Amino acid sequence: MPTAYNPRDVEEKWYRYWEENKFFHSEVDPSRVPYTIVMPPPNVTGQLHMGHALDNTLQDVLIRWRRMQGYNVLWLPGTDHAGIATQAKVEEQLAREGLSKYDLGREKFLERVWAWKEEYGGRITRQLRRLGASCDWDRERFTMDEGCSAAVREFFLRLYEKGLIYRDYYIVNWCPRCQTVISDIEVEHLEKPGQLYYIKYPAREGGDYLVVATTRPETMLGDVAVAVHPADDRYRHMVGKVLVLPLVGREIPVIADEYVDPSFGTGAVKITPAHDPHDFEVARRHGLPQIKVMNEHAVMDGEAGPYRGLDRWECRKAVLRDLKEQGYLLKVEDYTHAVGHCYRCETVIEPMISRQWFVRMKPLAEPAIAAVKEGRIRFVPERFTKIYLHWMENIRDWCISRQLWWGHRIPVWYCQDCGETMAERETPEKCARCASPRLEQDPDVLDTWFSSGLWPFSTLGWPQKTRDLEYYYPTTVLVTGRDIIFFWVARMITSGLFAMEEVPFKEVFIHGLVLDALGRKMSKSLGNGVDPIEVIESHGADSLRFMLVTGNTPGSDLRFHFERLDGARNFANKIWNASRFVLMNLDGYRPEEAPGPEAYTLADRWILSRYARCVRAVTESLEAYELGEAARAIYDFLWDEFCDWYIELAKPRLYHPREPRDRQLAQHVLARVLKGALELLHPFMPFITEEIWQRLPHRGRTIMLAPWPVYQPELVDEGAEAAMELLMEVTRAIRHIRSEMNVPPGKTATAVLVAEEEGARELLAGWRHYVEGLARCRVELRAACDAPPPQSAHGVARGVKIYVPLAGLIDINREASRLEKELAAVEKELARVKGKLASEAFLTKAAPDVVEKERAKEKDLSARAASLRQRLAVLRG
């Protein structure tokens, strides 16, 4: 084995071994309990980014852990067709050839998209394999494969038949660049600096006028009214009067509506129903017309009069110029406000009236609210429940049609002769009403999230009643980022409850975003993304996974620091070398002849006790979704306890055993604890643990399927832990003296240990060789401190006084100041404890064990202080 761990040598090999042997595969087995996760499907043409790496690492940890626990684990992978994103990529590709999708036509264009999908579709799944994802590739799905498409159609039809889908003219969010409508949640509101323009609208008769304030003056061309608040005394006399719209000359009424905020601007608001969602609602209430002044390219047309042909920003300038010239523009203020942007391309969206398909959400939301309120679905962390409920309780209808070509075509046909609208499961031949064969399918496709909303059951065979569906549904847990709770989690819940009458998953484990080192979101435009594949190549998949899991608290964001990656790699290397040590010293070890517990040394009992606690801590943390805590527990155990103490204590037993049996015993405990720790670590670092586990004595074909270590309370040995703690503290005290007094590491010192207490003295007598080995010294044990050695440095550890004679080496002043410093710290602490114990309230009200603890503390601190003081007195002569 090389002295440094090289992930490249092992990762690919083991992944192939696992996959070829179908260790990831799951089959229905009613005799076993299923544990199911459906993978949030990454975009088919995308590539792995850090968000995917985090999301899938977390899933893989849970999956591997539960698999080892014996559950029948299914992790179902797949990809999403990602309508807008994919279509945009192919359009870019065409643009480089000087073509547009219209040059090709719908059919040819779709061929190109499918070809693209074939070419790039496998990229991300190959990358997931490199990450170590142990998902069942035999069940890989795609949101536009045959089964999912059938599910989409069936689902649409069921909603349609229940009257939950309708088509209507409504104000929608239009992206002038993507040339499609997007849903409300796809609009990103960004704070942008802008201006607030105050415009004068004169009354038709007399010199009266109103002043409106607006951030979008160009839309005034489509104004149909000015609204004021009904209770606003300033304007009460104006309500019902008629104003003349500047530049246009249109006569518009002054109306009263509660929607108006009297404190904003002038308290008078222009109403542009065709280009503002709020105005749209106001106009509906008042029966006002809608006047379109802009087309789908955000260029003025319709009733825009002389401004026709200008794009919206040019038009704004022109309108302002004209208003100013004609004396209507009274004031301009700087004003920062939230502007809706397309979440895909960041173009400013344009509210527009358009005929689209919608899902009536209220009836679907009710059971989705109940499911969470009744605890049938639980969010982890819990605080996301509130976010979810708030959104569900204020839900609006979902616009599901998209003016794209790539996606699930809306299964609705229109008769060209009689105008009949037909929603059908199978492509119809003729009109159901007039029998005309002249049918045309709706040109639009469905929102991508419509199909991903069905993911937990469409992938298991729905609408067929399959055994898979019966066995694996509802799935156990969904793991996903907090950014898509509304987009996806909420939709799966409503869809699952509607189609299956059962929740799609019992728990939702939400994680944060991976940010760059400066705390910014990783994005293409900033160029601050870190490629997980590059990281895997430089540091290994295990290191990446470990780094993503540790120091991460559920639901909160995570900054990506290369330093932390180095730390994870160092940990892998540490495990590698600890394992090398164990493996190099296993010759002659016969597991079946291992000595029984009666032969265990103190160190053996101690490490087994610590190991047992570690098993419990890791398991409990995983159960609570505290993955970072679990990882930290193994890290601390392996590095601090197993490597730094146990291995050091095992060395003499292996190199110079007093008896062969002790060597056997050390080998046994080393192998057992290391193997168990590797099993605990396997969900986090699958590759290195498999590589080492295979070399250790083991049963079974893979660590993946090794039984998860079970907490054994009989291994917990508090006596051994306390004893080791004392020996470790004495060791640390001697090391401290050696270091402070500049005793060369090669030089063996003498340590005079004075243990007045019998228990401690016996302990030190029995295990003095631990201290001697670990602190490189010769121990002289005494029962009383009658004559401390002259010219020695002093320390105290748990009632044990330590003197390290340093004839000729000791610097009295230096030693005195060291002891003074220590004494000051001890006295400070002692004062605090004494103060506490002096309080009657504390003694009567605090828990008895707490009081007891404080008393013990006082005793220990007093003894330490006394010893230090005495020593100082001697030094000062």
CB of 783 to RNA, least distance (A): 25
Nearer to RNA, 202 or 628 (CB): 628
CB of 569 to RNA, least distance (A): 5
Contact code string over 847-876 relative to RNA, x by CB under 7 A: x--x--xx--x--xx---------------
CB of 729 to RNA, least distance (A): 10
Q: Is 170 in the site for RNA (CB under 7 A)?
A: no
- Rounded CA-CA distance 212/217 in Å is 10
CB 637, CB 660: distance < 8 Å: no
- Rounded CA-CA distance 522/681 in Å is 29
Q: Is 735 in the site for RNA (CB under 7 A)?
A: yes
Q: Is 263 in the site for RNA (CB under 7 A)?
A: no
CB 617, CB 627: distance < 8 Å: no
Nearer to RNA, 239 or 515 (CB): 515
Among 3, 31, 525, 813, interactor with RNA by CB under 7 A: 3
Q: What is the DSSP letter of 347?
A: P
Q: Which of residues 69-128 bind RNA (CB under 7 A)?
A: none
Backbone angles phi, psi at 350, to 5 degrees: -120, 115
Residue 630 neighbours by CB under 8 Å, 6+ apart:
617, 618, 621, 622, 684
Segment lying near RNA (by CB under 7 A), choices 221-229, 388-396, 661-669, 682-690: 388-396
Contact code string over 564-593 relative to RNA, x by CB under 7 A: x-xx-xx-xxx--xx-xx--x---------
> Strand (E) positions, 712-848?
749-755, 777-782, 792-797, 800-805
Nearer to RNA, 21 or 556 (CB): 556
CB of 575 to RNA, least distance (A): 8
Tokens of 162: 């229940």
Among 53, 185, 282, 489, interactor with RNA by CB under 7 A: 185
- Rounded CA-CA distance 160/179 in Å is 26
> In Å, how far are 31, 721, 766, 771 from 762, measured between CA atoms?
55, 16, 6, 14
Q: Which helix (H) or strand (E) holds 401?
A: strand 401-402
Q: Which of residues 476-535 bind RNA (CB under 7 A)?
A: 483, 486, 519
**Straight-line distance from the first to the last Cα atom of the chain, in angstroms, rounded to the nearest whole number:** 58
- Rounded CA-CA distance 288/273 in Å is 8
CB of 541 to RNA, least distance (A): 15
| Cβ atoms < 10 Å from Cβ of 316 | 19
Q: Which of residues 821-850 bind RNA (CB under 7 A)?
A: 829, 836, 839, 841-842, 845-847, 850
Q: Which of residues 297-336 bind RNA (CB under 7 A)?
A: none
Contact code string over 784-813 relative to RNA, x by CB under 7 A: ------------------------------
Contact code string over 620-659 relative to RNA, x by CB under 7 A: ------x-xx--x------x---xx--xx--x---x----
Q: Is 386 in the site for RNA (CB under 7 A)?
A: yes
CB of 681 to RNA, least distance (A): 15
CB of 242 to RNA, least distance (A): 30
CB 496, CB 457: distance < 8 Å: yes
Q: Is 4 in the site for RNA (CB under 7 A)?
A: yes
CB 822, CB 868: distance < 8 Å: yes
Q: Which of residues 533-562 bind RNA (CB under 7 A)?
A: 551-553, 556-559, 561
Q: Is 421 in the site for RNA (CB under 7 A)?
A: no
| Cβ atoms < 10 Å from Cβ of 856 | 11
CB of 81 to RNA, least distance (A): 23
Binding residues for RNA, total number by CB under 7 A: 72
User: What is the chain's Cα-based Rg?
Assistant: 37
Q: Which of residues 739-758 bind RNA (CB under 7 A)?
A: 739-740, 744-745
Cis previous bond, 504, omega within 30: no
CB of 814 to RNA, least distance (A): 13
Q: What is the DSSP letter of 316?
A: H
Nearer to RNA, 315 or 493 (CB): 493
> In Å, how far are 155, 174, 810, 862 from 359, measured between CA atoms?
12, 18, 85, 75
Among 106, 284, 390, 590, interactor with RNA by CB under 7 A: 390
Nearer to RNA, 317 or 390 (CB): 390
| Cβ atoms < 10 Å from Cβ of 266 | 17
- Rounded CA-CA distance 457/498 in Å is 11
